[in-house]
Structure 1
Amino acid sequence: MQSTDFLDAIRWTDDGLVPAIAQDAESGRILMMAWMNRESLQLTAAEGRAVYWSRSRQSLWRKGESSGHVQQVKEIRLDCDEDVIVLMVEQLGGMACHTGRESCFYRVLQDGQWVTVDPVLKDPKEIYA
């Protein structure tokens, strides 16, 4: 049984959450940001796949449970302030975003406007059918 002492080192929000950034372990690209609670981080460490906390549904959310785009966790990092997690992941299926893109960060600020710079790799209607 894996020790859960590492959870005590984290500075959780008043809601018991910590922001978690998923980063592609190979390319270094930021894929997405989500929230974790103690249980989701413990499960992520134990299972080796990303498990987040859905604030809207108030429930655990295993990344890829409906899309098939699972994040296999290669490494878990904690920042110097102990209040942000980075998951170094292998993104199965090449898409982290529910819009069908590689990354949720697909817009760039150009001349005061948000411009979409990444293509849709797969129509979300096909992903979540």
Structure 2
Amino acid sequence: MTATANAWLKKIQWDEHGLVPVIAQEAASGDILMFAWMNREALARTVELGEAVYWSRSRKKLWHKGEESGHTQKVLEIRLDCDDDVVLLKIEQAGGIACHTGRHSCFFQKFEGEEWHAVEPVLQDPETIYTKTKKTP
């Protein structure tokens, strides 16, 4: 990318770590599926591929959503909030599962009676989702 080709990235208010928070919203249902982070490279790759690519803070590397599970996120629209510091992806979720717990959404816990309760079912056992990436000793 040339300097002019990525000038749009300069509008974003990146945090002190060079990251911006990202919300993934299912376009068809309006459900908020997950929250993640992107750096400049992740957002540029997302635009290039048309699929969500995030920055994994724990692994300290780019993470193409669905690279292990197959549950990719096709990006239909990218929006920036009024303060230029939060990105919203309107996506189409492959397989209907966005969460590594096997649920549709990462926001499956609801606060009720001073406790958190899981209110969305596991659609697929995570063990079966990630078995292809596990290596035997």
**TM-score, length of structure 2 as denominator length:** 0.92
Mapping 1:1-129, distance limit 5 Å: 3-129=5-131
**1:128 CA displacement:** 0.1
**Counterpart residue type for residue 14 of structure 1:** E
- The aligned length equals 129
**Counterpart residue type for residue 69 of structure 2:** S
Structure with bigger gyration radius: 2
**Counterpart residue type for residue 41 of structure 2:** E
For 1:104, what is the secondary structure of its paired residue?
Answer: coil
**1:29 CA displacement:** 0.3
Unaligned runs of 5+ in 1: none
Question: Residue by residue, what CA displacement relative to the aligned partner does 1:80-127 show, whole Å, maximum 9, x if unpaired?
Answer: 000000000000000000000000000111111101100000000000
Share of identical aligned residues, percent?
59
**TM-score, length of structure 1 as denominator length:** 0.98
What's the C-alpha RMSD, in Å, of the aligned pairs?
1.1
**Counterpart residue type for residue 58 of structure 2:** S
Q: Distance in 2 between matches of 1:126 and 1:63?
A: 17
Q: Distance in 2 between matches of 1:90 and 1:72?
A: 5
**1:51 CA displacement:** 0.1
**Counterpart residue type for residue 104 of structure 1:** C
For 1:21, what is the secondary structure of its paired residue?
Answer: strand
Q: Distance in 1 between matches of 2:80 and 2:119?
A: 30
For 1:15, what is the secondary structure of its paired residue?
Answer: coil
Unaligned runs of 5+ in 2: 132-137
**1:4 CA displacement:** 1.4
